[in-house]
Structures are given as C-alpha cells and as structure tokens.
Structure 1
Amino acid sequence: MSNVNKPVIPAEVADAIELMRCDAGGQPWDNEKIIDSVRDTNIDEIHLRKLRSVPFDTLLAALVNGYTRELTTEEQERKRTYTEIAYTLQRHTQGDGRYDTYSEDSAFADGVQYTLDMLGIYV
C-alpha cells in the first residue's frame, strides 16, 4: 500500500483547479496544461495567480495525488462548536452527576438553549 501525500490547499486554489479541469468554455485543462500555464509568467490570469500562490511542489502533489481543502475560519469555528456540543451531549447522556436532579423537560430546555447559544442563534 502506498502513502499518498494529499496536501491541504486554500479553498480558492482548489476552486481554480476545479474550474480549469472542467472549463465550460472549451477543452478541460489537464495537469500538463495547468503546469505549463503556471510556469509561463507571460500569462496573467486570476486563476493562475491563485495557483502561483502555493509552492510549486504543493501544486504538483495536489494535481497528481488530489488535495484536501483548507477549512475557512467560519468552518473551523463551526466544527469546534459541533465537537463541543457532541462532547456535552455525551457527558449528559452518560450522566456526570449534574443532571440527576433535573426533570426531563428542564434538561431538554437547557440543552436546546445551550445549542442555540453555541451556534450563535438568538431567539
């Protein structure tokens, strides 16, 4: 089994690669055409500028091995929030002693309020 290096690249670079690979205006670009265009400094398209923003080796690895999109700050915060909510739910369902005196309705209401607060939803 081989170890494939799938680099993490910014979302705008991944978008540029995907746009070039499924070029709606003509022929899709293959890896060779993408690399040739990136190396040709006389071509100054916005998509190529985005591809030039990552190290060349990283771009090569992304084209050949595939890639993982970098999470935006909002996505990272959402993932952290969901993880914290899941952890709190697990503690609650396993019973950590704090919820023994709660009625089921009170515990449910507190859980809903906590979840809404963590997601930044105010009612």
Structure 2
Amino acid sequence: MLTTNVEDRFVQAGFPEQSVFYLEGRLTHRADHTPLQKQDLAEITSGDQLETAGYPDSRQFQEKLRDLNRFLAAHPRFVILELGVYAGNGFLRPLISQMLQAFPASRLAEFNLQPNPVPVQIR
C-alpha cells in the first residue's frame, strides 16, 4: 500500500504496518519514528518534531522505497487507486504519471470529486 495519508488510517483500519509505504511520513509518529501517545501531544510544539519532517531523508523511507521497488519489479501489472487527490497536487500527480509511464501494463482508477487531468500519453 502506497499512501500519502499522514493520519495512519490504513494501519488503524487493519492493514499490516510493514505493508504500508508512507510517502510523506505520519503525523501520528515522532521524528524518531516512535508512535505518539495522546498524553504526549502537549509536548509537540513544532512540525519538526513529527515524522513528516525530513521523512524522505530517513532510513525508514529508504528501506520502504527499496521494498516498493522490489514489489514493482516482481509485479509490473498493478492498479493505482487514486482517492481524493487534488488535481493541482504537485507531489503525487507527477509520481503517479511516472509510475504509469514506467509500467505500461499498470492502470489508474480515480475516485476524486473532480477529475484530474492525466497526460494523453499515459491515458
């Protein structure tokens, strides 16, 4: 599962944490990747204290990226379910386009309030 959901909803819904790849980290974890407890929330005074700060530079992100690349190499046919992504998203939209171009047997299924433009060459 590849997600930008920073609220950790997929794990809360029962997906195994080791199978979820967070592109931007989680707001439910500290910068050191330990889970935040409700009683600890008062200690958080800055976004820099959360996992989302500097996440792409972390060892955890790099490990998940290796896992994702291994999965894609083994399963070049996949479906991307795009749920509620803003058309102007400058981070996720280019990533989806790159994945679809790199894996022509893959497909995109959008579930957004407004359709997002997909370049003609990958439509």
Q: Which has the higher strand share?
A: 2
TM-score, normalised via structure 1 length = 0.27
TM-score, normalised via structure 2 length = 0.27
Q: Which has the larger radius of gyration?
A: 1
Q: Which has the higher helix share?
A: 1
Q: Greater relative contact order (Cα 8 A, min sep 6): structure 1 or 2?
A: 1
